[in-house]
Amino acid sequence: MQLQFENCGSASGVSQGTINGVSAFESCLMPQTTCPQLACNMQTEHSYADLPSTLFELCTPTPVGAPSWLAFNHPLAAELGFDPALAETDAGLQLLSGNQVAAWSNPLAQAYSGHQFGHLSPRLGDGRALLLAEIIDQQQQRRDIQLKGAGPTPYSRRGDGRSALGPVIREYLVSEAMFALGVPTSRALAAVITGETVYRDQPKPGGILTRVAASHIRIGTFQFASMLKDGGTAQHDSSLKSLADYVIKRHYPECVHAEQPYLALLNSVIQAQAALVAQWMSLGFIHGVMNTDNMSISGETIDYGPCAFIDQFDPDTVFSSIDQHGRYAYRNQPMIAQWNLARLAEALLPLLADAETDAVALATTALNQFPELYYQAWQDRMSAKLGLSSSAAAKTLAEQLLQLLAANKVDFTIFFRTLAFALSDVSAVKGPATLFTDQQGWLVWAAQWQQQLSGEPAAIQHSMNAVNPFFIPRNHQIELIISQVTEQGDLTLFQQFARDLSSPFTENADNQRWAAAAPPSDLPYRTFCGT
């Protein structure tokens, strides 16, 4: 059953038309080696392991030779109530490199399917990630602690279960930067250098990321559960129903009280992902691999692979070297999110109504709300970026602006940050006027923009600077950091960026260097898959 739905139109950076385009698990079978001294007072649970066993495989990490710390995120550790005895200590290193399994941990790999570049892979799953435990944090929120790159699992297929250090560095820095930018995202608790070599196109140093997320349940998890077609009897719930009930309880508890809880769940995920992608678009973020297995049910950004922020604005931008047909280009992201949500809706059909035609009608109505939800969220974001008090005026102004930015190859982040300088003087030398070759085009747009402004310039500037970052993780800087760590063993730049990224909206002496545009020699930029 393939659902049809009305997709996003052509406006606002959204594209129109069609989209382009088990063996070596000895470690998993060994009895777990638990380490009693790593038991502590953290509040940990294992609710995922109570789901039907079809949905995961218990599996222990494979030890590494000579681990060392790359990073430990102390503020996040405090938020989690993570045992201070494990922070940057040898005990912590043994645990977060997978060399020891704590008594509070019950590692498992989650099963999922996924549409990868539009093609269904029925059995993916955590091929190189292991859920250690759920921590109940200081705010009483349940959060997954996962090791990424901790060795083979029953879902590894031909992969080695490992991560190269470069992608670990990128995920650590970009996910933490996204958090600081206010975007829902998985977090990075720690990064470890394994001391071992992984083989990709060439030998590379290995790394392990400790990832924290509201959960790692994906659209692909529902696709996997729905394809099992198990249970569903009076005595025995299907894996799909168990998963849906679990997700409602964990992420969308308000749905329990809805007349149709599973429809309410679908609507909630549609809403969360529409809001998320609108926020990505407003920051120039390109996820890179929006396969259904990389889209979180909770509405967080997860699975940072060949992701990157746009430099000079061009809606057709694709950074990922594996995305040869531009399926996941900047402009396609909203439409792809809706396409992915249609796959979620298909997976949920058996729970929506007894008769398939009724279920399809409900799902289609839900999916058809996506464009409206997306545009409203996008308009609100653009309105705030432009310093407007009414979001209604923002749509046309923002659409015209994006065309102008593209035609003039203007740096997206620098433009919005400097726009506030033009509040009273559109030709201000520190303002965006200098970024445009088409001065006339800029002046016409700026005059229309000024007409829509209301309020004190100082107050507008303040509000604009709170949403338009002074700096983002620039691609050329991330590449430089990765090469310094992986080729020279020099952590200095990594540590400086990891420190500065927490205040992207405040300009200061330390963060000037992160704000500069990429030198022309670094464009166009390409990233390689996060394996």
Is the Cβ–Cβ distance between 19 and 54 less than 8 Å?
A: no
Position 49, amino acid: A
Told to judge if 490 belongs to the known catalytic residues of this protein, a careful annotator would answer no
Give dist(CA 505, CA 518) in Å, integer: 19
Compute the least distance from the CB of residue 305 to Mg ion, in Å: 7
> Binding to ligand AMP by residue 531, rule CB under 6 A?
yes
Compute the least distance from the CB of residue 63 to ligand AMP, in Å: 17
- List the interface residues with ligand AMP, window 265-304 (CB under 6 A): 289, 294, 303
Compute the least distance from the CB of residue 351 to ligand AMP, in Å: 25
> Binding to Mg ion by residue 303, rule CB under 5 A?
yes
DSSP three-state, residue 353: coil
> Nearer Cβ to ligand AMP, position 61 or 161?
161
Q: What is the DSSP string of 249-309?
A: HHH-GGGGGSSSHHHHHHHHHHHHHHHHHHHHHHHTEE-S---GGGBBTTS-B---SS-EE
Residue facing Mg ion at closest CB distance: 303
Compute the least distance from the CB of residue 148 to ligand AMP, in Å: 9
> Nearer Cβ to ligand AMP, position 293 or 311?
293
> Nearer Cβ to ligand AMP, position 221 or 383?
221
Q: What six digits make up the tokens of 440?
A: 């006339």
Q: What is the DSSP string of 147-165?
A: EES----TT-TTS-S-EEH
Q: Which one of ligand AMP, Mg ion, none interacts with residue 527, CB within 5 to 8 A by kind?
A: none
- List the interface residues with ligand AMP, window 473-492 (CB under 6 A): none
By C-alpha distance, which of 17, 1, 2, 6 is closest to 365? 6
Q: Which one of ligand AMP, Mg ion, none interacts with residue 218, CB within 5 to 8 A by kind?
A: none
Is the Cβ–Cβ distance between 25 and 59 less than 8 Å?
A: yes
Determine which one of 293, 323, 411, 500 is catalytic: 293
- What CA dihedral angle connects 293, 299, 305 and 308, to 10 degrees? 140
- Specify the pairing of strand 68-72 against strand 101-102: unpaired
> Nearer Cβ to Mg ion, position 327 or 417?
327
> Binding to Mg ion by residue 292, rule CB under 5 A?
no
Among 38, 55, 94, 128, contact with ligand AMP (rule: CB under 6 A): 128
Per-residue string for binding with ligand AMP, 39-68, x by CB under 6 A? ------------------------------
Q: What is the DSSP string of 334-347?
A: HHHHHHHHHHHHHH
Chain position carrying tokens 């005990």: 91
> Binding to Mg ion by residue 156, rule CB under 5 A?
no
By C-alpha distance, which of 388, 409, 422 is closest to 523? 409
Q: Which residues touch 202 (CB under 8 Å, ≥6 apart)?
A: none
Give dist(CA 238, CA 31) in Å, integer: 29
Among 185, 294, 333, 340, contact with Mg ion (rule: CB under 5 A): 294
DSSP state of 23: -
Report helix angle 370-385 to 261-283, nearest 10.
30
> Nearer Cβ to ligand AMP, position 293 or 346?
293
Q: How many Cβ atoms are within 10 Å of 453's Cβ, its own excluded?
A: 15
> Binding to ligand AMP by residue 127, rule CB under 6 A?
yes
Q: Which one of ligand AMP, Mg ion, none interacts with residue 530, CB within 5 to 8 A by kind?
A: ligand AMP
Q: Which one of ligand AMP, Mg ion, none interacts with residue 371, CB within 5 to 8 A by kind?
A: none
- List the interface residues with ligand AMP, window 318-357 (CB under 6 A): none
DSSP three-state, residue 323: coil
> Binding to ligand AMP by residue 455, rule CB under 6 A?
no
- List the interface residues with ligand AMP, window 144-203 (CB under 6 A): 155-156, 159-162
By C-alpha distance, which of 528, 36, 462 is closest to 322? 528
Give dist(CA 304, CA 308) in Å, integer: 9
- Counting residues that bind Mg ion (by CB under 5 A) gives 2
> Binding to ligand AMP by residue 124, rule CB under 6 A?
yes
> Nearer Cβ to ligand AMP, position 280 or 514?
280
Chain position carrying tokens 């550790």: 77
Compute the least distance from the CB of residue 398 to ligand AMP, in Å: 32
Q: Which one of Mg ion, ligand AMP, none interacts with residue 67, CB within 5 to 8 A by kind?
A: none
Q: Which stretch binds Mg ion (CB under 5 A): 38-46, 103-111, 291-299, 423-431?
A: 291-299
Q: What six digits make up the tokens of 161?
A: 């279960």
- Which are the catalytic amino acids? 293
Q: Which residues bind ligand AMP (CB under 6 A)?
A: 124-128, 155-156, 159-162, 289, 294, 303, 305, 530-531
Q: Which residues bind Mg ion (CB under 5 A)?
A: 294, 303
